[in-house]
Chain A
């Protein structure tokens, strides 16, 4: 009998499920991930919680490769994860759009 294995690549579904210019929270392999869809079409993925006060980053304001946490306004670069407060940073995950679907590598989440 064929063995079932978990593929390392996960589809998060259609990119249109994230409203333009906003973020959305996904639970991927037990980890909570925020995925952002910028107005210029770029997409990013990071941890879903702000390291400062655990704010839900997917609800933050987005633009120019940055997100602003809705609780206390701490900012993060979505390309590097660097925070406006130097001791704070996010993990960023490689994510891409394939035929209108968002795909991310599960291994990067657990790495």
Chain B
């Protein structure tokens, strides 16, 4: 018989509560029967993004982190909309009261549903993660019509709804949350005034000068700011039913007319349940370094906690608390301890980037203060150095060095003697940071939140000897990839070297061959389908993660002859459209060189109306994107558009932008439009290791951004064209390298085709042209493709011509689908109805 699991009750279903459960499940998926209480009637959402919900840039549904199905799938019993009121430590049960749907979940006196029975859940361990509630400064009249707090999804809805027919809104609180609320209100078309009691904005994070710069930037956006302003009374007119807010009265006797007021003046821990249950409570629920309260069976985590006299309201320290607590409660790491955090934060307030850590002003005359200011651009940088270490820093407007400063600050590291390097980077580009000096809890991968300790553990205890192994084990480097060099540094410092991992060089993970070996095998054996590759080169073991790369390679190797198995394609390439987060697709028809006609635009408009397309958007590639199309509608949309596919969904030639060139521009020296159209007609749909985005520019002013494209042609004086390769302006920004300078459009097409074919043959799968050009080197590429040092140019020219000849508009599959179910939606299955007639 199965042993009884321990019962763990988590009180609070906010960010800390859900995170600690995730951390526990990660360590021991089966140890506990978990029950959660959440006062809000939802799953768990990212409260940090609430200001986006208020300003309409994100839907409330987009900020959910754990939908209700997550609880079900992990066997967690969630009491949503139930507030835990007491822990009966004698009987070892947690008692909860269901709240009325309209109750403000976080208020002390949230109305319970009188008809609903109390909930009781027995426990072995409890975690209190009740978080905090908005702080309302003492004033008269708060709670009446038109007064709001800003803490939950429901608050956002209430504020947005009320703001609809109002003209003026006031926000009490000029800190981070207050400014976020003000930004949100601005988008609802009301005049916004921010009221701050202190003499400056964001007094916790900024010094007075930075506060002043921020204030000017914010005022320039149309928000009024009143500092030194303490609200004493919210005044209303009219009787109960029709009462409306009229104005605010201030301590200095002045007043402000307004239609609504949002109070967002800080937060206070929610501790009633701890008090009611006899636990030690000071400002917050008092916890030790293992996040244990005064009762060893009861733990606490998050904003409700007081640890070594300190409260925390930022996400990083709280994530660390959840990790420690999970280590302790699952017995997976008994000496795990939370020792407090040095506070630093990097954030964006109303579009202004700022970073702040530690102290904002010097504490003694021996403290060294380094300041750089550039008021015209709203830049301010300040550093407080004590004993060669960072005691505090403020960055406003330019936060590029924030990451390094934060690592040094939190690691209590010695800083370089040239302080300017800290604010502007080293002039020699030498990294200021030695990753080995970082503290164990330093976050290395910012995308997936992986700490140095976790990476060290993977290297030392799980035997990971390469960057990709560390990535597979910890997810470090699996997001944007920019931390891979730090991971490599860590490998070197722990192992002395970065291990050689042959799998890193495999073309696809499922076939143990590098690209050149794989190409040779495929050519020699005449393999023309993906399933055949698995049969012959992988003992018949199909690897789904390898299918797409193999399909791309086979199509490049056997243009026109390749046996196209559609299951080996990514969904985008099965249906020739780009899948979106909600499972709908985007449709981008080809518009050669970005030049369209009135008739084409009318057809696009008619399609948008007929199919009720939710969004019609101009793309960066000078085309029009129809977003939110259902898979079943794709063939009809294409037929009605009567335009060829723009291939905006696949690893291939995408588009060629152009400027207006010589047709109308006063400066144009080359016909960039005609060239772009020729390029696009020739290379449309040509498959490649990654996407290729092109542009032509009629002069070196580069309006079409040809210098930063995978391939670009730029007209220069004297009737010549420069051809650039390996440019990038995405996550990586790189100016392309000059391949050669030629005289005619035909020559441009010729060299571009040659480069594409060389890249198609030698680029690693998913390697963009900029990585490829850097890896091979422009000198080598120029020797091969221009000087023909290897004698392969003629063959390359022939091969790319074959690829061009094999082009077929994939949207013709609207008329003749590749297979019957290509565009089918969900199929309804009915249970068989049978007559029960046997008795």
Contacts and interface: CB of A to CB of B under 8 A. Distances in A.
A91 B565 contact: no
Contact of A60 (B74, B571, B819): B571
A24 B834 contact: no
Contacts of B570: 61, 70
A23 to B, nearest CB: 9
Interface string A31-71: 01000001110000000110101111001111110111011
Given A39-B567, A61-B545, A9 B581 contact: no
Contact of B22 (A8, A10, A26, A87): A87
Given A19-B567, A87-B74, A63 B543 contact: yes
Contact of A10 (B548, B831, B835): B831
Contacts of A56: 579, 583
Contact of B581 (A7, A53, A88): A53
Interface string A89-100: 111000000000
Interface string B817-839: 00101101111111111111100
Interface string B549-582: 0000000000000000111101100100001011
B834 A13 contact: no
Given A24-B821, A61-B570, A71-B579, A7 B829 contact: no
Contacts of B822: 19
Contact of A12 (B542, B567, B827): B827
Given A7-B832, A11-B832, A27-B828, A51 B70 contact: yes
A25 B70 contact: no
A68 B829 contact: no
A68 B831 contact: no
A65 B99 CA distance: 45
A107 B689 CA distance: 46
Nearest to A25: B826
B579 A70 contact: yes
Contact of B544 (A53, A62, A89): A62
A68 B582 CA distance: 16
A9 to B, nearest CB: 7
Contact of A18 (B582, B821, B826): B821
Q: Which of B26, B542, B545, B834 has the most CB of A within 10 A?
A: B542
B531 interface: yes
B827 A25 contact: yes
B597 interface: no
B544 A66 contact: yes
B827 A24 contact: yes
A68 B825 CA distance: 19
B323 to A, nearest CB: 14
Contacts of B574: 22, 59
B141 interface: no
A111 interface: no
Given A6-B831, A64-B542, A87 B25 contact: yes
Q: Which of A22, A25, A51 has the most CB of B within 10 A?
A: A22
B69 interface: yes
B836 A21 contact: no
Contacts of A8: 831
B535 to A, nearest CB: 10
A39 B822 CA distance: 17
Interface string B44-80: 0000000000000000000000010110011000000
Given A63-B543, A63-B544, A21 B565 contact: yes
Contacts of B827: 12-13, 17, 24-27
B567 A62 contact: yes
Interface residues of A, number: 54
A19 B821 CA distance: 7
B831 A24 contact: no
Interface residues of B, number: 46
Contacts of A5: 833-834, 836
A71 B553 CA distance: 23
Contacts of A63: 534, 542-544, 547
B541 A64 contact: yes
A26 B826 contact: yes
A26 B581 contact: no
A20 B832 CA distance: 26
B614 to A, nearest CB: 17
B29 interface: yes
A9 B834 CA distance: 11
Nearest to A88: B73
Given A19-B567, A21-B565, A86-B26, A9 B832 contact: yes
Interface string B574-614: 10000101110000000000000000000000000000000
Contacts of A6: 831-833
A109 B298 CA distance: 38
A75 B582 CA distance: 18
Contacts of B70: 51
B135 to A, nearest CB: 34
Contacts of B25: 86-87
Nearest to A38: B542
A66 B545 CA distance: 9
Nearest to A62: B544
A29 B831 contact: yes
Nearest to B478: A73
A19 B819 contact: yes
A67 B70 CA distance: 19
B824 A24 contact: yes
Contacts of B541: 64
A68 to B, nearest CB: 5
Nearest to A90: B73
Given A12-B827, A21-B568, A61 B548 contact: yes
Given A22-B566, A26-B827, A63-B544, A17 B832 contact: no
Contacts of B534: 63
Interface string B517-555: 000000000000001001000000111110110000000
A6 B26 CA distance: 41
Contact of B829 (A13, A53, A60): A13
B73 A32 contact: no
A24 B565 CA distance: 16
B21 to A, nearest CB: 9
Contacts of A32: 826
Nearest to B534: A63
Nearest to A102: B829
Nearest to B70: A51
B836 A20 contact: no
Contacts of B542: 38-40, 63-64
A75 B832 CA distance: 33
B829 A12 contact: yes
Given A12-B827, A24-B821, A27-B826, A61 B835 contact: no
Nearest to A22: B567
Nearest to B61: A54
A64 to B, nearest CB: 5
B320 to A, nearest CB: 19
B836 A3 contact: yes
Contacts of A48: 826
Contacts of B22: 87
B28 to A, nearest CB: 11
Contacts of A87: 22, 25-26, 29, 74
Q: Which of A19, A53, A63, A89 has the most CB of B within 10 A?
A: A63
Closest 9 CB pairs of A and B: A21-B567, A63-B542, A63-B544, A25-B826, A59-B571, A61-B544, A2-B835, A2-B837, A56-B583
29 contacts: A3-B836, A10-B830, A10-B831, A13-B829, A18-B821, A19-B567, A22-B566, A22-B574, A24-B821, A26-B828, A27-B826, A27-B827, A38-B542, A40-B542, A49-B69, A51-B70, A54-B583, A59-B583, A60-B544, A60-B571, A61-B568, A62-B567, A63-B542, A68-B545, A71-B579, A87-B22, A87-B26, A88-B73, A89-B74
Given A51-B69, A86-B25, 13 more contacts: A6-B831, A8-B831, A12-B829, A17-B827, A21-B565, A21-B567, A26-B829, A55-B583, A63-B544, A68-B544, A68-B545, A70-B570, A86-B26
